[in-house]
Chain A
């Protein structure tokens, strides 16, 4: 029976078992389909009702003397009479209509204040000794301080009117807004009468007439509202949906005693966890999809959309939905694997619930970072798990489609998800985790109990890969922003040091800690002689093929002009650096560190789990992803594929290191007059930056590369090669 068939059998059974559990149905269906819309509509309507109550209340105004009291009374009464006479539509429909807004109480307050300006509530005017103190004590809602004598309709002069209110109190805000509206209209009437008296028009006192014009379409407004709400809900609901099945299928199964029964069956542990993982991911995704449908239905069909936009049209951005759902896939994979990994430790349901809490917090915090106003999909955010999904989802609702960003977010999240899956698989099969009497779970991490291995486990390789991927990105960002390191030789030094520490020193220490033999883990064995021939063929040809790929790619994926400008600036600066210095930083250091890490440590760790060719593909993709650019992804992945081929066929990183060094060295020096440009021209290769590559060169390079690949593919397995199964020794007592 194939692995696929086994996993198929397992996930179908697990799904049946899970959906028969009413607790799953509650978390997956009831919450999103019933509770969530009810809460959303209910809370919005409650806010609306509260606002309508507020604007019909009677408010108290505090003044300092009888003169001010009489003047204010007359102004209010006149305003009321005029408003009634004008019988504007707003007067019959108090501010309640469309008063609610997405941001809850604050939005409701703003809406209510806007409404009462046009349609003020009833006021009682009281004389108080200290207006501010009376407001603070709650004796009055608002104070009006009159400095000078307010002029009459036929008088000139001016009085300073101060409206005092408590911004922390909603009733004070509404009362002040109403008073301000009354006084603004009174002021306007006095102004109109003065202008008429002096036979002047409005333009005389208003040389600049200011108007604000919002150019956002209703689609963008709707997208903006949804972008603030939906992404974080989806993140939370994906996780909420996955939590219960993750616990039930691991710790729950152990608690019920079915895990031992299952482990006896002739099924590899990795297949068992894969089957469970499929179900947890499916339920997480289903939960997210149901939530999305529920939010959509509530907003689009349930009328919540008009509540959110204060009565204006709410066109639902359906175009964004497929992309949002696509984003949810790696996120659900990441959550499911992380949850399965932590729940695999637990020996009981309760214990697992405790372990899940930190995972939830770890998801919520970057999720909240993602919805902070002004957060953009750039810099560290672009590879920050969860936060990048939230920001990207928000951008998609606003119809911002950045292919580069989508690709990086999807692939980086997939990388983290892959690492989490590998760790979950590794932990699930641990004896100390499976059987309580097999020792403490803590011994799983205790070096003294690690078996000596010839290569790292897939879980360790994926974990180190995910850490190196994110740390390298953050460090490179920090270097680029540093005032001391962002330019010149210090920049090259900093990047080189980062690569050496992250790709060579860190994995070496990881291997030492895990008791992995460095010689086999990093494939440091000497290769056969023919391997060098294969490496030279590839190293001498791939730089031309890379150029050809680059020119071809420009036709269908043209580079962003800003990025192109930045690269041109950097290339121009490289021209001032001595050629061999540049070779050291751009060729030697990357060739040494990247081969050691990708084709050494990661490849040897992955091949035991996904097989030789699966490992080659995954490591090549990881290598492509490691360059953090959609424009370089295809090219670097293909180069990684060829280098991984050399490593996997010869069980040695040295041929790949030579090919990598040649590729980078020739690419760096080919266009330089103090480098290889004179030599290139002498053999007929065009060295101008914008020169078209001659087909003969491309064909020749392809043939040479094919010869290199053919030599590598026909390699015989070297004697004493790595044993695919880890060596076992009896641990010392």
Chain B
């Protein structure tokens, strides 16, 4: 179980003040569920995910993984988290196999287990045709599959996915959504941040809406509908962030 408790991040400003990018955010992602984190650009989603994955140190509050504070033992805790970053950063001069072997070694996977995992990922994600090409020569969809394979390699119980389907074609998109479903069904706790509201609607059991660094709403899709009186998630979203006025008026 992944828990953000009163999570806060202050960024220093050149004038000597601090800006709260994330402000006392609290939520829990339970095993077997996909938790959707929604919010407009600049709301603090990525900063929240970076704190949850141990990339940023919280200014206040805690990140708990099965009740263990991530800041106490960041390296040990990171083994239990698979984090997919928003931009698919791959080593252009390495092949997917080499890159996956490298990350497997960093996660401490024995060589034999690493080979098995890479073979399994390759089969799941359909990477066989480009496994030995240099990453620099791959398409966006292929790169994203390699990134997902990298995040899943050590079979972590927690997955934090930041815009996993951004820029993908329909086939790749479907593949990744299906993968999330199967991973959640296998008991993994998945935190999904995306702008694709239809993905949230179809995948997420619960949704947290973050706006200006604060978690302004949380609940199941039905709860959010009931709270806003709007049927569609996009309309509920706009209402909750206070942007449901028509943009164009005659």
On whether the beta carbons of B103 and A258 are closer than 8 Å, the reply is no
List the B residue with the shortest CB-CB distance to A267.
B106
On whether the beta carbons of B11 and A263 are closer than 8 Å, the reply is no
B41 to chain A, nearest CB (A): 11
Selected from A13, A432, A728, the residue in CB contact (under 8 A) with B102 is A13
On whether the beta carbons of B75 and A266 are closer than 8 Å, the reply is yes
Binary B-proximity of A253-268 (CB < 8 A = 1, otherwise 0)? 0001111110111111
B128 on the A face (CB < 8 A): no
On whether the beta carbons of B56 and A731 are closer than 8 Å, the reply is no
B73 to chain A, nearest CB (A): 10
A435 on the B face (CB < 8 A): yes
A160 on the B face (CB < 8 A): no
A462 to chain B, nearest CB (A): 23
Contacts of A431 in B (CB 8 A): 56-57
On whether the beta carbons of A733 and B105 are closer than 8 Å, the reply is no
Selected from A9, A13, A263, the residue in CB contact (under 8 A) with B55 is A263
B83 on the A face (CB < 8 A): yes
Contacts of A167 in B (CB 8 A): none
Contacts of B47 in A (CB 8 A): 437
A58 on the B face (CB < 8 A): no
A440 on the B face (CB < 8 A): yes
Binds B, one of A224-232, A443-451, A474-482: A443-451
On whether the beta carbons of A17 and B93 are closer than 8 Å, the reply is yes
Tell me the number of A-to-B contacts counted with CB atoms below 8 Å: 101
A730 on the B face (CB < 8 A): yes
Contacts of A730 in B (CB 8 A): 8, 10, 59-60
On whether the beta carbons of B56 and A443 are closer than 8 Å, the reply is no
B107 on the A face (CB < 8 A): yes
On whether the beta carbons of A261 and B98 are closer than 8 Å, the reply is no
B12 on the A face (CB < 8 A): yes
Contacts of A266 in B (CB 8 A): 74-79, 106-108
Binds A, one of B84-92, B181-189, B240-248: B84-92
On whether the beta carbons of B89 and A258 are closer than 8 Å, the reply is yes
Selected from B46, B76, B106, the residue in CB contact (under 8 A) with A6 is B106
Contacts of B74 in A (CB 8 A): 266
B94 on the A face (CB < 8 A): yes
On whether the beta carbons of A731 and B93 are closer than 8 Å, the reply is no
On whether the beta carbons of B12 and A258 are closer than 8 Å, the reply is no
On whether the beta carbons of B89 and A256 are closer than 8 Å, the reply is yes
A569 on the B face (CB < 8 A): no
On whether the beta carbons of B108 and A448 are closer than 8 Å, the reply is no
Selected from A261, A267, A448, the residue in CB contact (under 8 A) with B89 is A261
List the A residue with the shortest CB-CB distance to B162.
A260
Interface of chain A residues 1 through 55 with chain B (CB within 8 A): 1, 6, 9-10, 13, 16-17, 20-21
On whether the beta carbons of B83 and A264 are closer than 8 Å, the reply is yes
Binds A, one of B13-21, B115-123, B163-171, B198-206: B13-21
A699 on the B face (CB < 8 A): no
Contacts of A259 in B (CB 8 A): 89
B145 on the A face (CB < 8 A): no
Asked, given contacts A260-B55, A264-B85, A438-B11, whether A21 binds B75 with beta carbons under 8 Å apart, the answer is no
A279 to chain B, nearest CB (A): 13
On whether the beta carbons of B10 and A733 are closer than 8 Å, the reply is yes
B50 on the A face (CB < 8 A): yes
List the A residue with the shortest CB-CB distance to B55.
A263
On whether the beta carbons of A257 and B88 are closer than 8 Å, the reply is yes
On whether the beta carbons of B12 and A446 are closer than 8 Å, the reply is yes
Contacts of B144 in A (CB 8 A): none
A153 on the B face (CB < 8 A): no
List the B residue with the shortest CB-CB distance to A10.
B106
List the B residue with the shortest CB-CB distance to A256.
B89
Interface size counted on chain B using CB atoms at 8 A: 46
Binary A-proximity of B30-52 (CB < 8 A = 1, otherwise 0)? 00000000000000001100100
A439 on the B face (CB < 8 A): yes
A733 to B17, CA, bound (A): 5
On whether the beta carbons of B59 and A437 are closer than 8 Å, the reply is no
List the B residue with the shortest CB-CB distance to A260.
B85
On whether the beta carbons of A443 and B106 are closer than 8 Å, the reply is no
B22 to chain A, nearest CB (A): 12
A432 to B16, CA, bound (A): 14
Contacts of B75 in A (CB 8 A): 266-268
Asked, given contacts A20-B93, A264-B85, whether A437 binds B11 with beta carbons under 8 Å apart, the answer is yes
A442 on the B face (CB < 8 A): yes
On whether the beta carbons of B13 and A439 are closer than 8 Å, the reply is yes
A440 to B46, CA, bound (A): 18
Contact residues on A (Cβ < 8 Å of other chain), bracket:
35 or more
On whether the beta carbons of B54 and A264 are closer than 8 Å, the reply is yes
List the A residue with the shortest CB-CB distance to B21.
A437
A21 to B134, CA, bound (A): 12
On whether the beta carbons of B55 and A16 are closer than 8 Å, the reply is no
Contacts of B92 in A (CB 8 A): 256
A257 to B86, CA, bound (A): 9
List the A residue with the shortest CB-CB distance to B150.
A261
Contacts of B103 in A (CB 8 A): 265
On whether the beta carbons of B12 and A449 are closer than 8 Å, the reply is yes
On whether the beta carbons of B12 and A448 are closer than 8 Å, the reply is yes
A438 to B98, CA, bound (A): 31
List the B residue with the shortest CB-CB distance to A258.
B89
Selected from B18, B93, B94, B105, the residue in CB contact (under 8 A) with A9 is B105
B147 on the A face (CB < 8 A): yes
A729 to B106, CA, bound (A): 31
On whether the beta carbons of A432 and B12 are closer than 8 Å, the reply is yes
Binary B-proximity of A314-332 (CB < 8 A = 1, otherwise 0)? 0000000000000000000
B193 on the A face (CB < 8 A): no
On whether the beta carbons of A261 and B85 are closer than 8 Å, the reply is yes
Asked, given contacts A437-B47, A440-B14, A448-B12, whether A261 binds B102 with beta carbons under 8 Å apart, the answer is no
B57 to chain A, nearest CB (A): 7
Contacts of B91 in A (CB 8 A): 17, 256, 258
**Chain B CB within 10 A, most for which of A259, A260, A432:** A260
Interface of chain A residues 217 through 255 with chain B (CB within 8 A): none
A418 to chain B, nearest CB (A): 24
Contacts of A260 in B (CB 8 A): 55, 85, 87, 89
Contacts of A21 in B (CB 8 A): 93
Contacts of A1 in B (CB 8 A): 108
B59 to chain A, nearest CB (A): 6
Binary A-proximity of B204-243 (CB < 8 A = 1, otherwise 0)? 0000000000000000000000000000000000000000
A567 to chain B, nearest CB (A): 52
A731 to B13, CA, bound (A): 12
B48 to chain A, nearest CB (A): 13
Asked, given contacts A17-B93, A21-B93, A264-B83, whether A442 binds B14 with beta carbons under 8 Å apart, the answer is yes
Contacts of B56 in A (CB 8 A): 431, 435, 438
A730 to B59, CA, bound (A): 6
On whether the beta carbons of B16 and A448 are closer than 8 Å, the reply is yes
A379 to chain B, nearest CB (A): 44
A726 to chain B, nearest CB (A): 11
B142 on the A face (CB < 8 A): no
List the A residue with the shortest CB-CB distance to B87.
A257
A446 to B16, CA, bound (A): 8
B53 on the A face (CB < 8 A): yes
A265 to B77, CA, bound (A): 10
Interface residues of A (CB under 8 A from B): 1, 6, 9-10, 13, 16-17, 20-21, 256-261, 263-268, 431-432, 434-435, 437-440, 442-443, 446, 448-449, 728, 730-731, 733
Closest 7 CB pairs of A and B: A257-B89, A258-B89, A266-B78, A257-B87, A20-B93, A443-B12, A449-B12
Q: List 30 A-B contacts (CB under 8 A).
A: A1-B108, A9-B105, A13-B94, A13-B98, A17-B94, A20-B93, A256-B91, A257-B88, A258-B89, A258-B90, A259-B89, A260-B85, A261-B85, A264-B53, A264-B78, A265-B78, A265-B107, A266-B75, A266-B79, A267-B75, A431-B56, A432-B12, A437-B11, A443-B12, A443-B14, A446-B12, A446-B16, A730-B59, A731-B18, A733-B10
With contacts A13-B102, A259-B89, A730-B8 known, what are 9 further pairs, Cβ within 8 A?
Answer: A256-B92, A257-B87, A258-B89, A260-B85, A266-B107, A437-B21, A440-B14, A448-B16, A733-B18
